[in-house]
A = this chain, B = another copy of it.
Amino acid sequence: MKDLKTALSENAEAVNRVLDDLLVLGDGPESRVVEAMRYTALSGGKRIRSFLVTASAELFNVDKGQALRVAAAVEMIHCYSLIHDDLPAMDDDDLRRGNPTCHIQFDEAAAILAGDALLTKAFEVVADGRTHDSATVRADLVLALAKASGDAGMVGGQMLDLVAEDHELNMPEVTRLQRMKTGALIAVSCEAGAILGRASENAHHVLHTYAHDVGLAFQIADDLLDVEGNEKDVGKKTGKDAAAGKATFVSLLGVERAREQARLLAEQAASHLDIFEEKGKLLQDLAYFVVNRTT
């Protein structure tokens, strides 16, 4: 069995190839929007969400090429959310993955449109017959991705985050915010593997619980990096939450308890996957990787 580091980098390479194929530069002047889409979608990143898709799909022996199309769609949704979140009217960030953000590199209009088009493209890719022979699987994937990404998921979480700037959140509120803002897309990434593999209800449920814990652990680790990481390693501005007076897991629990909580969540996440035995190993390792990462 390959180790997680190899598996992650193989996934990233494979997803990049698929994204490169799917985001086709035309020759009209409107191809500027595709340039902006490619600029962000192909700018690297650990590709953890797409890894969750391909690794969970592997549990059910899903065709690799099909899983990669869904993995690429999930990265498109993730990248669209980064582009829009970075806009001046939102988090107003200049730096992302060590590079100028999309609206700095292009302009605000191109960035808004590139985000819109990436979101749209994600649904186009998933609905396409090449993603799965079964239209039921494809429609189910669209439905799950849309629910996780919309006003009851990721977009709602971002709205909550913006509203929260005006009043201090408590622990349940921060948990809810993060579950919507980052947790929902992480959870649906795991679920996508189960949908592609027509998994049993129980396997679905197990992956959902795993994803829920990993999502929270991921966010706590993110909050820790915002406090302890440096901008160069992390590839984006750090210390932002404290500067904005935002309640985070770290501000509410303190560094030590937050780290302990993340570790416990990783353990718990990994234990859910015991039913998959050896096959679940990579996803178990990922749970620990997510909390121990330094970037």
Instruction: Select the stretch in A119-127, A260-268, A278-286 that faces chain B.
Output: A119-127
Instruction: Contact check, B120 vs A150: say whether CB atoms are below 8 A apart.
Output: yes
Contacts of A139 in B (CB 8 A): 127, 129, 135, 138-139, 142
CB under 8 Å from chain B, chain A span 171-222: 176, 180
> Chain A 120-151 against B: per-residue CB contact (8 Å), 1 yes, 0 no?
11011011110000111011101101110111
Instruction: For the complex, give the distance between the alpha carbons of A115 and B162 in Å.
Output: 16
Identity of the chain B residue whose Cβ is nearest the Cβ of A25 in the assembled complex: B151
Instruction: For the complex, give the distance between the alpha carbons of A162 and B109 in Å.
Output: 8
Given the contacts A87-B112, A116-B84, A150-B117, A29 and B160 also touching, CB distance less than 8 Å:
yes
Instruction: Contact check, B146 vs A121: say whether CB atoms are below 8 A apart.
Output: yes
A253 within 8 A of B: no
B-binding residues in A (CB < 8 A): 26, 28-30, 32-34, 37, 80, 84, 87, 89-90, 107-110, 112-113, 115-117, 119-121, 123-124, 126-129, 134-136, 138-140, 142-143, 145-147, 149-152, 155-160, 162-164, 176, 180
- Show 22 residue pairs from A and B whose CB-CB distance is below 8 angstroms, ordered by the A residue: A26-B152, A28-B160, A28-B176, A29-B163, A30-B159, A30-B160, A30-B163, A33-B151, A33-B156, A90-B112, A110-B159, A113-B162, A115-B116, A116-B116, A117-B150, A119-B119, A120-B149, A121-B150, A124-B142, A127-B139, A127-B140, A129-B139
8 cross-chain pairs, A with B, having the tightest CB-CB distances, nearest first: A89-B108, A124-B146, A120-B150, A127-B142, A135-B135, A135-B136, A117-B151, A33-B159
